[in-house]
Amino acid sequence: MNIVLDIHSHTVACQHGYSTVQEIARQASDIGLEMFAVTEHGPRLLAANNEYFFRNIRVIPRKIYGVKILRGVEANILDDKGNIDLTERALKRLDIVIASLHESVFTPRDIHTITKALINAIKNPYVDIIGHPGNPRFPIDIERVIQAALDNNKLLEINNHSFRARKGSFKNCIKLAKGIKDVGGMVALGSDAHISFHIGIFDKAMELIEEAGLGEENVINTSVEKLLDYLKTRGKEIEF
Ligand SMILES: [Zn+2]
Ligand SMILES: [Zn+2]
């Protein structure tokens, strides 16, 4: 399976990233990636970007070194109502919105509360993708979350960084991937790179895809057109 794009990355702007957008683009170009998304952390995370970063995000070129760039956010899910930490004014300027649960913003709770939070985040009209839903620190009813994503035309992420940073994610993500395959859905692969060298790195995610038996039709990262078509269904027409 040929992966041509990465939906999740961080830069120096978030204060715990180690590369600039330009450096990530350089590396992406060098390894033959066609597109990546800059998805900085929403303001509520300790080391994160403020509202103005996202309002001004149009300054990032559409293409650097021949690599297409999507301007996005990894917003924080704030509560079980699925609210996230950016204003509509900023969200409207973004190509891609990932919403994730992070421990410093959302204290891990029981499976019912977390499932409710994720389903409501899925229903949030600004959210496109749920980030690292396989994190075992936030237990979920996987089948219900998959069904909600399907019903609302949203994607669930397989996060390559989780397999090192969030212990126990692999087992959960296998279940998630198999469930998505069963309903004919698609996963979105994110490297969650915090340094240029990690952009487009999906070593563990590819193992998982093989083990879960996902085909090209189940992975949005196999074609730029596929992701752009998906974003079009979300009301975003992006020209490069
Ligand atoms: Zn995250
Ligand atoms: Zn991230």
Judged against a pLDDT cut of 90, whether residue 164 lies above it is answered with no
Q: Mean pLDDT across the stretch 171-177? A: 95
Judged against a pLDDT cut of 90, whether residue 13 lies above it is answered with yes
Judged against a pLDDT cut of 90, whether residue 167 lies above it is answered with no
Judged against a pLDDT cut of 90, whether residue 179 lies above it is answered with yes
Judged against a pLDDT cut of 90, whether residue 118 lies above it is answered with yes
- 115 CA to centre of ligand 2 in angstroms: 20
pLDDT at residue 47, as a whole number: 82
- 86 CA to centre of ligand 1 in angstroms: 15
Judged against a pLDDT cut of 90, whether residue 196 lies above it is answered with yes
Q: Mean pLDDT across the stretch 97-103? A: 97
Q: What share of the chain has pLDDT > 70, as a percent?
A: 100
- 47 CA to centre of ligand 1 in angstroms: 12
- CA-based nearest residue to 6, from 217, 192, 232: 192
d(CA 125, CA 115): 18
Give the pLDDT confidence of 204-214 residue by residue, as tens digits: 999 999 999 99
Give the pLDDT confidence of 35-89 residue by residue, as tens digits: 999 999 999 998 888 999 999 999 999 999 999 999 999 999 999 999 999 999 9
Of the listed ligands, the closest to the CA of 40 is 2
Reported pTM = 0.98
- 69 CA to centre of ligand 1 in angstroms: 19
Give the pLDDT confidence of 125-150 residue by residue, as tens digits: 999 999 999 999 999 999 999 999 99
- 8 CA to centre of ligand 2 in angstroms: 6
pLDDT at residue 159, as a whole number: 96
- 59 CA to centre of ligand 1 in angstroms: 24
